[in-house]
Amino acid sequence: MLLAFEAWGGVPRVILSDNLKSAVLERMGEAIRFNPQYLAFCAHYRFEPRPKWRWHAETRRAAGNVRSATSATTSFAARGFADVDDLNTRLKIW
């Protein structure tokens, strides 16, 4: 995330996260137990962690945006690059 914050030049107010153990330790119905280290990270960078719900309309829209962006990048994936630094440079330009 730190590299993303640097590339964007800031931090979003809310970040949707998957149910990875690094973010969400446990769910019981509506109750969510976040990973304490993740909460400390969120507090330090001052963003609200919001876990993703499969059925939630906002999550579906976000997933749709990622899918459309991913399909746009499949043509980018066919291009050659010399190394990871070259790939990152090309992605920034793109």
pLDDT digits (tens, 9 = 90+) for 63-91: 555 555 545 445 555 567 788 888 788 77
Q: Would you tell me how many other CB atoms lie within 10 Å of the CB of residue 57?
A: 8
Angle 8-9-14 from CA coordinates, rounded to 5° = 65
pTM for the whole structure? 0.56
**Mean pLDDT score across all residues of the chain:** 77
> Token pair for residue 77?
């994936």
Which residue is it, tokens 């990152």?
88
Instruction: Give the contacts of 90 (CB within 8 A, at least 6 positions apart).
Output: 76, 79, 81
Assess whether pLDDT exceeds 60 at residue 39.
yes
Across 10-14, 16-20, 21-25, least confident range: 16-20
Greatest distance between any 2 Cα atoms in the chain: 48
CB 34 within 8 A of CB 49: yes
